[in-house]
A = this chain, B = another copy of it.
Amino acid sequence: MARRAIRKTLEKTPDIRAVATLARVSIATVSRTINGAPVVSERLSKRVWAAIEQLNYFPNTLARSLVSGRSRILGIIVENITNPFFPELIQSFEEIAVANGYEILVSSSNSDPAILTTCVRRMIERKVEGVAVLTFGEEEPVLEQLAYHDIPMVLAEFHLDDPKASTIALDYATGIRAAVQHLAALGHRKIAFLAGPHSIHSAVTRENDFRTALQEAGLAIQKKWIIECNHKPRGGVAGFERLQALASQPTAILCSNDMTAIGVLRAAYLKGLKVPQDLSVIGLDDIDFAEFTLPPLTTIRLSRVELARAAFEALRQQAELPSGSKVQREFLVSTSLVIRGSTGAPPTQPAE
């Protein structure tokens, strides 16, 4: 025993006991002081803080979480961290979380079910108190694990029949309708849509909303002008090229996300088509970059801040409200059209 004590003074990083000894109080008092329990007398509390500072003591979060059963970690799983939409989203989410005393654990699934599975496993093992699944609808099977472990979750674009699951609905329809009407007002009648992968739920939603918007505007739906891409620039290039191979060309292209639109801009440029004189292009997301494309991209804004806030709020309610209390289970994030330089009147004679 004596040996232990000596070694402790000599080399261990300070723990709550060291603080207690130095402050001449019990470890319980140290704990209460740190956690702001209202019972500690000012006299002792002062001694404790002094000792903490003197030893440069940091509480061990691991131990704290273990005993309290609260990790204060929130997980966030995104589709693809390489798409600028997601870092921006993560940043907002982290800010809110940290401001509320949570840590975040980030994972990128890269649309790969195997990776998703290990992400989920790691989240469970780390005892996260909730996870925001922002992969936009390709997740169902894995989520059972989360549900099984009673972990609150919030899903974008996806309903799960679980008492701990909330969902954030994205109102794409409003933004997409505005985009189509903007194009129609400019005089476009031939509008193509470069969709996202159909394996992603929200990509399908966006496409359907486009179809609806077209009809509302009294425009015909041309099957050939609706092409499935992959939400990446390269996909936009490919989609554009497939459009080019067609006998009849659209005068405007609405893209399922900004990355696709960036690819289209690039492909059009190489092809010698001027945007917006020869071709109008609209994106969706409004990533920070959208302002810096050439020309600046007209796009449908999906607010990352709003989305992050909704996700956090949903998780917080599930995690902190006494179970059984009425929590909000449905959130809605809206979209809106941001007009910049990539849209204009169609050419007087059909493009190409």
**A interface residues (Cβ-Cβ under 8 A, vs B):** 3, 7, 13, 56, 58-63, 65-66, 71, 81-82, 84, 86-88, 90-91, 94, 98, 103-108, 118, 121-122, 124-127, 144-145, 148-150, 233, 262-263, 265-266, 269, 288-289, 291-296
Contacts and interface: CB of A to CB of B under 8 A. Distances in A.
Contacts of A105: 103, 105
Copies of the polypeptide in the assembly: 2
Contacts of A118: 98
Contacts of A98: 118, 122
A63 B82 CA distance: 33
* Consensus secondary structure, chain A interface: helix
Contact of A60 (B108, B122, B127, B293): B127
A107 to B, nearest CB: 8
Contact of A288 (B61, B82, B108, B294): B82
Given A82-B288, A294-B265, A91 B62 contact: no
A295 B124 CA distance: 46
Contacts of A88: 82
A121 B59 CA distance: 10
Contacts of A103: 105, 122, 126
